[in-house]
Structure 1
Amino acid sequence: MQNKPQKNLNTTQRYHRSVVFTFMTVMIFPVLATLLYSLSQRWGATVLPDSLTFDWYLQLWQDARFLHAFGNSLLLVLGTLVLCTVVIVPTAFVVFYYFPKLDRWMNILILMQFAVPPVVSSVGLLQLYADGPIPMVGTPWVLVGCYFTIALPFIYRALATGLQGLNVRDLMDAAHLLGASTPAAFLAIILPNIRKGLMAALFLSMSFLLGEFVFANMLVGSRFETLNVYLYSVRGTSGHFTSAIVMSYFLFTLFVTWLASRLSR
């Protein structure tokens, strides 16, 4: 009788492990297949490629156009994340410290972008910013604004979750009693407590923004070519070459994720 609960526990553990193993296999298999295809010289009707080579990666990283597009993407993403940090972090603090009832309206505001498809938004932005005293269509500035709206929900919700776990008003009142100003108390007390959530949100947003295509292609295109626009333009050249682009993007994102986990410690 005593062995029966232990047997049931072992069966449950094996079931859970099999579910996790199946899920990981389903997720990893396409990545490994893409990696193998990017390293293959030829891969026809056989199960495995005929030969392996790094020529596609050497050709990719020696391509000045690819390096320029990759640099443009990084520049746009980093600029957007800096803007998001400067604007959204103080905004979230002000909402939770001074106007906590506005949080429900902020949640509605940040979800409004999901109600309009990116293609429809791009058409509206083309008509809105194509003319005027400062035409922005075809410039990276319009992409910074679009990317800001994409990153806004992720960053604000991460900050809101962190601030909800803090007693912001009591912490600020205690800091004021000790002689600290509101900006100093925010930088010394509130910001360190939401740092992990902010870092996670920034790197998650970075992954989304690096993969954005619709706004970049419709609003700017080749006038300020990004990584995904470059991938779309060379899609008809070679499947091995495009697989090398995809794997380079994936490995870079994986490195950024690892770096974020290290920094958060």
Structure 2
Amino acid sequence: MSRAEHLYHRLVVWLLFLILFAPLAATLVYSLATQWSATLLPAGFTFKWYLQLWSDPRFLAAFGRSLAICFGALALSCVLILPAMFAIAYHFPRLDALMNVLILLPFAVPPVVSAVGLLQLYAGGPLPLTGTPWILVFCYFTIALPFMYRAISNNLQALNLRDLMDAAHLLGASSWRAALLVVLPNLRTGLMVALFLSFSFLIGEFVFANLLVGTRYETLQIYLYNLRNGSGHLTSALVISYFFAVLLMTWIANRLNRERT
């Protein structure tokens, strides 16, 4: 590669990063501005909007609810998806083609249609879940399913699962013991990727949260929606706080993954 081609490739990459980073940088500056309306630069900078946001009990409660729902949905996903994927990969490999079709169903049905169906299904009867966080947990589980299945499936395909299990059986381990002590540690990277892809998507989900629970169980996105007529500086501070929360959790996961490697 010539020097000119090398510089061209670097220019394209940096231009792409600039395009992706510019909206976030503008939001960050606006969240720190005292006033920014008819001038090119803000009149001044302040942390007032962040202090106001993080001292608001309503925001803290909404943030905690969003984390609780996301963690609940991801925990349910791990408990149900991991054993099912192990059984499919080891005992029923022909079902993988069927699962690749089934996991696309949450994206094939529009969220509004799914939400209306869930409202009709759980509005009454022996299990009324409408307006409760439980309906969001079960709904978010179906949304996380494609991310979880695809990431873990790619990791499973990189393993020689049958040889690993046969070796564990020869050493006297049962199938469950081999799955927990041999296969599961080798799925750590794929599981981390699946969890944080799902988390970054679920914590920003709005349509299901608005239609299924609304203000009866106000999540972070519902709180952000209710601020639409308020201060734009406060809304920008919330968006930046949300971004840094996701960034922090991703950094912690990467550190834990490196320490265990």
TM-score by length of structure 2 reads: 0.97
The separation in 1 between residues aligned to 2:180 and 2:2, in whole angstroms, is: 49
1:115: how far off? 0.9
1:49: how far off? 0.3
1:108 to 70, 78, 101: 101
Q: Are 2:144 and 1:151 aligned?
A: yes
Q: Are 2:229 and 1:236 aligned?
A: yes
2:41 maps to what in 1?
48
1:76 maps to what in 2?
69
User: Residue deviations 1:50-90, cap 9 Å, x none?
Assistant: 01111100000010000000000000011111111111111
User: Residue deviations 1:113-164, cap 9 Å, x none?
Assistant: 1111101111111111101112100001100111001110111111111111
The separation in 2 between residues aligned to 1:109 and 1:123, in whole angstroms, is: 21
1:184 maps to what in 2?
177
Identity %: 61
1:136 maps to what in 2?
129
1:244: how far off? 0.6
Q: Are 2:11 and 1:14 aligned?
A: no
1:189: how far off? 1.0
Please tell me whether Structure 1 or Structure 2 has the larger radius of gyration of its CA atoms.
1
For the residue of structure 1 that corresponds to 2:26, the secondary structure is helix
2:161 to 141, 165, 168: 168
Letter in 2 for 1:70: F
The number of residues matched between the two structures is 258
For the residue of structure 2 that corresponds to 1:70, the secondary structure is helix
Over the aligned positions, Cα root-mean-square deviation in angstroms equals 0.8
1:167: how far off? 1.6
For the residue of structure 2 that corresponds to 1:47, the secondary structure is coil
User: Residue deviations 1:27-53, cap 9 Å, x none?
Assistant: 111101000000001001111100111
The separation in 2 between residues aligned to 1:53 and 1:235, in whole angstroms, is: 21
2:249 to 222, 242, 256: 256
Q: Are 2:115 and 1:119 aligned?
A: no
For the residue of structure 2 that corresponds to 1:37, the secondary structure is helix
1:205 to 184, 198, 202: 198
2:82 to 70, 75, 89: 89
Q: Does the Cα contact within 8 Å between 1:200 and 1:260 map onto a contact in 2?
A: no
For the residue of structure 2 that corresponds to 1:123, the secondary structure is helix
The separation in 2 between residues aligned to 1:48 and 1:64, in whole angstroms, is: 32
For the residue of structure 1 that corresponds to 2:34, the secondary structure is strand
For the residue of structure 2 that corresponds to 1:42, the secondary structure is coil
1:166: how far off? 1.3
Farther-moved stretch of structure 1 (101-110 vs 160-169): 160-169
Please identify runs of 4+ aligned residues in structure 1 that moved more than 2 A.
none
The separation in 1 between residues aligned to 2:191 and 2:254, in whole angstroms, is: 12
1:177: how far off? 1.0
TM-score by length of structure 1 reads: 0.96
1:96: how far off? 0.3
Structure 2 unmatched ranges of 5 or more: none
User: Residue deviations 1:8-38, cap 9 Å, x none?
Assistant: 5111110110010000000111101000000
Letter in 2 for 1:114: F
